[in-house]
Structure 1
Amino acid sequence: MSFFVLPFPTVDPVAVNIGPAPVRWYALAYIGGFVFGWLGMRALAGDDALWLRGQPRPTREGLDDLLVYVAFGVIVGGRLGHVLIYDPAYYFAHPLEIFQTWKGGMAFHGGLIGAVIGMAFYARRSRLPFLTIADICAAVAPIGLFFGRLANFIKPEMWGRESDVPWAMVFPGAGDIPRHPSQLYEAGLEGVALGLILLIAARSGALKHPGLVTGLFGVFYGAARIFCEFFREPDPVQEALPNGLTMGMVLSAPLILIGAGAIVFSLRQRNATA
């Protein structure tokens, strides 16, 4: 066991009180993810150099509607995903707690499904290619992932497995054993690293090939999430599976396959039109 353990930087989960209403860091993380994601989408959609001449894409004004659809899908899908995948028996016995999102409990994969539904609705209504819409959203998704993982760390929740690494921390509510700060691993890989990969890809012309950025997101997010699951402590009831697997691993593996398929499809379309 390591004799050097980093102290957990205890942060009040309430960022600020506006009158009698507390504003939590958890809520600010979602707000920040949507706001900075919206700004990122506007920057991408407005840069003609990133797109083929005449390539259909959303206008900057149209992105306002896209944000609303995606945000609604993320919040509803993320909550329902947590309720239905991780602890349906508890929430069916306490149905009012389904709406208490400020207590935490949002499933990424459920939020992703909700976001896809929102994107599909917007694409159909705007008569724009779905893959182009998906590419724009995928390119900025790491922003929300980064803020979300920081919120997990501040809360704290979703802490790591027991460890003796020099940067291990003792998390409140997780006993006296030092653990991996796995939330920060995920913020770094799913947020910063993935964001840089997708930014470089977009700046290198990937948006000119619908589906390519979406595919890259699926492959690299799925791989990053599976890697981080080896350091994250799974809930023994809700997340732990036989043979060392976790629910996060199982749900992320299909993203790699879907992402790889999207990349192949995009590159074949490019070759067919070259």
Structure 2
Amino acid sequence: MAKVHVVFRKEDIDETALTDGKIAVVFDILLATSTITAALSFGAASVIPVRNAEEAREKSRLLPNGSYELVGEYEGRTIDGFHSPAPLFLQKFCPGKTIILSTTNGTVAIRKAMHANHLYVGSLLNGPALSEHICQRHASETIVAICSGSSGRFCLEDFYGAGYFISCLLQNGVSARDLSDSAMAAWLFYEKYKTENAGKTVLASSRVGQWMTAHGLERDIDYINQHGALSVVPVFEKTGLGGEIHDATRRSFSV
């Protein structure tokens, strides 16, 4: 069966090690990976994760006018000329569009992990669907759950999200004996706070959650905290645009 490990911050990603047949799953619960999952569920054609606003604008010049939307933040502030990455806001313009997404942490983590054998995006919204997909297709491969963190700092909500994902893996046949100490710690933390009410406390009490609440985004926290509400399986595919994330349940992939 698969071995499972957790990385606490994007700065701790060993990009070389990921190329050795690893399955990477990136978590940025507040907000990027939840935003990506939500955007695909709202009908976005794909999401292009980029490292910064400049790269986002470069990618946009390669796409037809009207086919994309620029979405992003830097250090918590919506980038000038971009839409806010708050998931509930995205419902207005996602259908059929390519979302070019730039965030301080999550999209950077995705780009750092892009050379893994296969790369997925995880959130509380899609834990069961994602774990089932991975267990069916990668039963013997090492899974690395990557917590994005925030500007070099550990994030409680990402650790919680990784723990939920690991709980879902265990329900799909992964053995607790195959968890590294970091994976075991994330799972045990999630088990202590696994109800949605307790999960809301974890998210809202985190540093980023407190910031979101102070800026009127409590409804987005409630949305993000819906454990297993979506069947979306966001998978990263290398393309001519450098890489796009699609819903694996909508397309045929060799993953």
Q: TM-score, length-normalised on structure 1?
A: 0.29
Larger Rg: 1
Greater share of helix residues, 1 or 2? 1
Greater share of strand residues, 1 or 2? 2
Higher relative contact order (CA 8 A, sep 6+): 2
